[in-house]
């Protein structure tokens, strides 16, 4: 084998067998056989094709051929009319099999068929993938026909499967790594070396090509490179602070765990690319993050962080769903304005030509802190506290949850960044079983905060309180800035202004300083995701935990002003307390029933 190329039928034979087997060992053996019979300079292409792709996933190259277009090409090439081709598809339920049948019924025998080679198939597919835009359809069909005309029916089957993204050979990345170790290093033991390279490059084709052409030492030399995403380090979970602390040997870092989207940001000079947790290129979703990174970081870096939607007025974090507005092709500018984000960096993997993944966590954190001083625009470093007792960890978790976080990420101070690995060097500690509160609450507006941005000149957020009959006092329970339409904002401004007072009302108990205080008169309806402990709010202070009151998490105005209620009719402190207890009970029941099922298994 060599310059004449590799027969496409060789890989088709193996694909057929791979489809037929259900045993992993057999699958690995088949791949080993295929890799060994592949000319080495083609190894990466064969690996990509096996995965149904042309390039590593992060490059985002899609063949993007719709079923209908593929069937049209099949109709042209087989000479069968569209209706018959479609019927075959319906009958077999598989576009590949439909192709195989249609091509075997080909009306006119094709006389001068050229043998298909892997090179030719690959480069034609590449051309199809590059074609964009309106007029490209006919050209695409022409390219597909060009292959199908020279294809044996079985070959056509896999061409259609690949172009429509329906190739399912059941190969996991790890199966390929096993097979590569056996095929090119003679020992499965070397798989770890290959896996390390894969975790740093996210590119199996590159690893395959390197080991096949240049050997293991070359694979060992593969390192982190800008604009090649690193597979993310992942966390294990435990259910209590004690357990987390135990696992960490008694001392560790506790970071806020924000509920947003993980970004891996690569910056070189003034070029920035952003990769998602699944390593897709999502640069276009975050023009604001790019500007902010350019403004606040001067050197070349690879950093990781969590982008979180924030409420501009309260600066509070918003639930993950708010970020979904970013997942669109058009109108990003608008989404940016309406759904601003904060970018919280939590790791650094590369700086100025130097890889830092092997440095201990605490050193990476120090570098990160040196990189971004305090908060620069929307970029900041995720809050962190070094803890060595469970109580401080729990307190810090409450604080995090109160600020809109999901919980904490507990990190081993001495651990390197373990690319692509899930382990106990990172542990997530979340509040589980968060459930939307079934009831709405009617709360009294006791203060307000000035709006900013789109809400300049209005109130951006309102301070709400519950009522306690015993001492005839209003205790704060949340700040709400969500759920207001523009008309609502207008209306509230007018509605509240008659009740403005110069200082906090005597019957209001608040630890927060509002910009404007009101006489407690107006009652509005809100919903929330749950009730949490909070040192900031005074409702039921000390009743559950010393120094903490109760607060609503993710409160939202329902749109209803309870004109029918007086301030003293608002939801009472006692009611909120019993809602909190009910919520705890439900949580425990869910936990208990899950443990039960665990035992049955």
Convert residues 336-375 into a mask of x (bound to ligand AMP by CB under 6 A) and - (unbound): ----------x-----------------------------
Residues 6+ apart with CB under 8 A from 473: 467, 507, 508, 509
Q: What is the spatial distance between Cα 400 and Cα 406, in angstroms, rounded to a whole number?
A: 7
Closer by beta carbon to ligand AMP, 417 or else 474:
417
Token pair, residue 386, equals 């070094």
Residue from 257, 266, 537, 553 that binds ligand AMP (CB under 6 A)?
257
Closer by beta carbon to ligand AMP, 426 or else 492:
426
Q: What is the spatial distance between Cα 348 and Cα 414, in angstroms, rounded to a whole number?
A: 15
Quote the distance between the C-alpha of residue 98 and its chain's center: 36
Question: CB of residue 295 vs ligand AMP: minimum separation in angstroms?
Answer: 22
Q: What is the DSSP letter of 6?
A: -
Q: What is the spatial distance between Cα 413 and Cα 415, in angstroms, rounded to a whole number?
A: 6
Closer by beta carbon to ligand AMP, 195 or else 306:
306
- Closest residue to ligand AMP, judged by C-beta, is 262
Closer by beta carbon to ligand AMP, 72 or else 553:
553
Give 479's strand partners: 463
Q: Is residue 452 near ligand AMP by the rule CB under 6 A?
A: no
Question: CB of residue 255 vs ligand AMP: minimum separation in angstroms?
Answer: 4
Q: Report how many residues bind ligand AMP under the rule CB under 6 A.
A: 12
Greatest alpha-carbon pair distance for the chain in Å reads 98
Q: What is the spatial distance between Cα 161 and Cα 144, in angstroms, rounded to a whole number?
A: 12
Going by C-alpha positions, the residue among 144, 134, 399, 360 that lies closest to residue 253 is 360
Going by C-alpha positions, the residue among 150, 147, 127, 135 that lies closest to residue 63 is 127
Q: What is the spatial distance between Cα 383 and Cα 259, in angstroms, rounded to a whole number?
A: 14
Q: Tokens 């070396």: give the residue.
A: 193
Q: What is the spatial distance between Cα 319 and Cα 405, in angstroms, rounded to a whole number?
A: 9
How far lies 179's CA from each of 29, 176, 215, in Å? 7, 5, 15
Q: Is residue 409 near ligand AMP by the rule CB under 6 A?
A: yes
Question: CB of residue 411 vs ligand AMP: minimum separation in angstroms?
Answer: 7
Q: Is residue 382 near ligand AMP by the rule CB under 6 A?
A: yes
Q: Is residue 458 near ligand AMP by the rule CB under 6 A?
A: no
Q: Which part of the chain contacts ligand AMP (CB under 6 A), choosing from 118-126, 249-257, 467-475, 547-555?
A: 249-257
Residue from 18, 258, 349, 425 that binds ligand AMP (CB under 6 A)?
258
Closer by beta carbon to ligand AMP, 426 or else 449:
426
Choosing from 45, 157, 161, 257, the catalytic residue is 257
Q: Are strands 252-257 and 261-268 parallel, antiparallel or unpaired?
A: unpaired
Find the binding residues for ligand AMP in span 271-300 (CB under 6 A): 277
Task: State yes or no: is 257 an active-site residue.
Answer: yes
Q: Is residue 565 near ligand AMP by the rule CB under 6 A?
A: no
Q: Is residue 120 near ligand AMP by the rule CB under 6 A?
A: no
Q: Which part of the chain contacts ligand AMP (CB under 6 A), choosing from 87-95, 251-259, 432-440, 446-454?
A: 251-259
Question: CB of residue 409 vs ligand AMP: minimum separation in angstroms?
Answer: 4
Q: Is residue 235 near ligand AMP by the rule CB under 6 A?
A: yes
Provide the H-helix boundaries in 372-429: 390-402
Q: Is residue 400 near ligand AMP by the rule CB under 6 A?
A: no
Q: Is residue 309 near ligand AMP by the rule CB under 6 A?
A: no
Q: Is residue 326 near ligand AMP by the rule CB under 6 A?
A: no
Q: Is residue 417 near ligand AMP by the rule CB under 6 A?
A: no
* Contact of 474 with 506, CB cutoff 8 Å: no
Q: What is the spatial distance between Cα 118 and Cα 110, in angstroms, rounded to a whole number?
A: 20
Closer by beta carbon to ligand AMP, 230 or else 409:
409
Q: Is residue 100 near ligand AMP by the rule CB under 6 A?
A: no
Quickly list DSSP for 504-552.
--TTEE-SS--SEEE-S--EEEEE-SEEEEESS--TTTTTSBTTBEEEE
Sign of the torsion formed by the C-alpha atoms of 358, 360, 363 and 369: positive
User: Could you list the active site residues?
Assistant: 257
Interacting residues toward ligand AMP by CB under 6 A:
235, 255-258, 262, 277, 306, 346, 382, 409, 428
């Amino acid at each position: 084998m060599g310059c004449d190329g590799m027969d496409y039928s060789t890989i088709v034979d193996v694909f057929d067998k791979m489809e037929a087997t259900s045993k992993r060992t057999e699958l690995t053996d088949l791949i080993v056989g295929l890799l060994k019979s592949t000319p080495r300079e083609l190894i990466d292409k064969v690996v990509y094709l096996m995965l149904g792709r042309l390039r590593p996933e992060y490059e985002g190259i899609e063949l993007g051929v719709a079923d209908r277009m593929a069937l049209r090409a099949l109709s042209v090439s087989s000479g069968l009319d569209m209706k018959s081709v479609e019927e075959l598809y319906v009958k077999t339920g598989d576009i590949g099999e439909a192709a195989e049948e249609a091509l075997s019924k080909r009306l006119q025998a094709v006389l001068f068929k050229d043998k298909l080679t892997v090179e030719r198939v690959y480069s034609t597919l590449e051309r199809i993938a590059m074609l964009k835009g309106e007029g490209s359809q006919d050209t695409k069909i022409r390219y597909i026909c060009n292959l199908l005309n020279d294809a044996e029916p079985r070959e056509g089957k896999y061409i259609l499967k690949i172009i429509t993204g329906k190739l399912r050979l059941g190969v996991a990345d790890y199966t390929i790594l096993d097979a590569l170790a056996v095929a090119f290093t003679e020992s499965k033991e070397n798989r770890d070396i290959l896996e390390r390279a894969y975790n740093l490059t996210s590119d199996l084709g590159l690893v395959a090509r390197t080991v096949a052409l240049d050997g293991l030492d070359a694979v060992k030399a593969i390192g982190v490179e800008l604009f090649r995403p690193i597979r993310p380090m992942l966390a294990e979970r435990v259910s209590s602070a004690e357990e987390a602390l135990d696992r960490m040997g008694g001392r560790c870092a506790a970071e806020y765990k924000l509920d947003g989207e993980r970004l891996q940001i690569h910056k070189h000079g003034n070029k920035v690319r952003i990769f998602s947790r699944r390593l897709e290129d999502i640069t276009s979703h975050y023009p604001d993050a790019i500007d902010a990174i350019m403004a606040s970081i001067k050197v070349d870096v690879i950093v990781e962080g969590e982008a979180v939607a924030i409420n501009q007025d309260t600066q509070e974090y918003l639930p993950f769903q708010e970020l979904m507005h970013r997942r669109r092709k058009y109108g990003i500018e608008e989404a940016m304005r309406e759904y601003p984000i904060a970018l919280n960096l939590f790791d650094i993997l590369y700086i100025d030509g130097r890889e830092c993944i092997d440095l201990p966590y605490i050193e990476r954190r120090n570098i990160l802190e040196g990189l971004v001083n305090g908060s620069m625009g929307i970029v900041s470093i995720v809050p962190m506290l070094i803890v060595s007792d469970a109580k401080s960890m729990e307190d810090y978790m409450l604080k995090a949850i109160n600020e809109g976080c999901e919980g904490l990420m507990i990190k081993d101070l001495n651990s390197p960044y373990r690319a692509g690995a899930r382990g106990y060097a990172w542990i997530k500690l979340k509040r589980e079983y968060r459930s939307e509160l079934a009831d709405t609450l009617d709360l009294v507006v006791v203060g307000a905060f000035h709006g900013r941005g789109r809400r300049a000149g209005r109130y951006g957020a309102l301070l709400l309180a519950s009522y306690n009959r015993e001492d005839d006092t209003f205790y704060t329970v949340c700040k709400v800035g969500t759920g207001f339409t523009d008309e609502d904002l207008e209306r509230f401004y007018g509605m509240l202004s008659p009740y403005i007072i110069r200082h906090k009302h005597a019957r209001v108990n608040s630890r927060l300083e509002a910009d404007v205080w009101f006489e407690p008169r107006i009652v509005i309806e809100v919903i929330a995701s749950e009730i949490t402990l909070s040192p900031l709010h005074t409702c039921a202070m000390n009743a559950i935990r010393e120094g903490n009151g109760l607060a609503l998490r993710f409160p939202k105005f329902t749109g209803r002003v309870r004109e029918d209620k007086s301030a003293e009719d608002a939801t009472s402190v006692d009611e909120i307390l019993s809602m909190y207890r009910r919520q705890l009970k439900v949580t425990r029941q869910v936990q208990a029933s899950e443990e039960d099922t665990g035992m049955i298994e």
